Amino acid sequence: MPGASVSPAGVVAHSLAKRFGEKWALRDFDLEVPRGSVLGLLGHNGAGKTTAIRILTTLTLPTSGGAEVAGLDVLAEPARVRERIGLAGQYASVDDLLTASANLEMVGRLYHLTREEAARRAAELLERLGLADVAGDLVRTFSGGMRRRLDLAASLMGGPEVLFLDEPTTGLDPQARSELWELIGQQLAGGTTVILTTQYLEEADRLADTVVVLDHGRTVAAGAPRELKASVGGGRVALRLGAAGLERAAETVAPFATGPIEREESEQRLSFPVDARTRLVDVLRSLDGAGVDVADLQRVEPTLDDVFLSLTTGGGTPS
């Protein structure tokens, strides 16, 4: 086995690979996440995200390759790695027969906190995540969103150096999602490294310093969100007509489009991808010259959705 690492990065992976029978779930996965930063790991179902996280959190062994988390080799020192990380998986793993406070205090004791430290930390996290009023209630009475928040609190009990969040806001309402984003910001300010998978691409866009896109177990793109969005082109032009004439409008804008023109006949709307050099004024002049009555015209900048759809072949939505 490799020896312990002293890498200054929060998370490093070297050619990680995992095979189940004849199927490779992960291949040639390289990663370097600076301390105190957020990595967004995106990909469709089965792309390899969960496999990568399970290896990095010592829950499964790789077929080949290696990794360091919080400066420790995950193969050589898995127990010490677990002491320094927090993990919130896709499904809340809390005990229904305990109260919210008891759940967190139990986790705190497993991290070797004293009873007083565990109780104080539990009360602090329950307050932050809006669960203070139900701290003494049995978890079996909680809604799915409340259980999710409690699970997130449990992942933070040990003050982790590296925090793994697998779709952390699934099932949370907009206010709870916003509160979680604020909590992640607080963790970053304290130097925590965050690995995030999410089905909300705008969430990755907002939170992540770097995004890695996986497809069929391989990395197909990596970079800052703004860099990845710029790589897919000039975004889209969307227009709404003031009167009938959708077909004429589509014919008129066809020379500007770099891909299929999407029509919404009931709303008299068109949208189409364009080159970064395309000017809205030129599109408007062409439409005006063709006698097309335009009620609204705007440029929509690329999103991570556009990046994801342009790079992946697995179909479906990221998760």
Of 207, 168, 11, 159, residue with least CA distance to 88: 168
CATH number attached to the domain at 235-300:
3.30.70.100
pLDDT > 90? residue 166? no
**According to the model, what pLDDT value does residue 118 have?**
97
The predicted model scores a pTM of 0.78
For residues 90-119, average pLDDT = 93
Q: How deeply is 96 buried, as exposed, middle or buried, from its count of CB atoms within 10 A (0-12, 13-18, 19+)?
A: exposed
Selection from 42-56, 99-113, 145-159 with the highest mean pLDDT: 99-113
| Tens digits of residue pLDDT in 284-297 | 999 999 999 999 99
First to last CA, the chain: 32
Q: Where are the domains of the chain?
A: 11-229, 235-300
Q: Establish whether domains 11-229 and 235-300 are of one fold.
A: no
Better-scored residue on pLDDT, 14 or 149: 14
What mean pLDDT is predicted for residues 148-163?
92
Question: What pLDDT score was predicted for residue 8?
Answer: 64
- Considering the domain 11-229 in this protein, what is its CATH number? 3.40.50.300
Tens of pLDDT, residues 201-235: 888 888 899 999 999 999 999 999 988 888 877 78
Better-predicted residue by pLDDT, 60 or 129: 60
Please say if the pLDDT value at position 29 is more than 60: yes
Q: What angle do CA 70, 71, 74 make, to 5 degrees?
A: 80
* Phi and psi at residue 135, to the nearest 5°: -60, -35
pLDDT of residue 2: 41
Q: Where are the beta strands (DSSP E) in the chain?
A: 11-20, 23-33, 38-42, 64-69, 72-73, 85-88, 162-166, 193-197, 210-215, 218-223, 236-241, 262-264, 269-273, 294-300
Mean pLDDT of the chain: 89
Q: How confident is the model at residue 313 (pLDDT cuts 50, 70, 90)?
A: low
Residue 266 or 181, more confident: 266
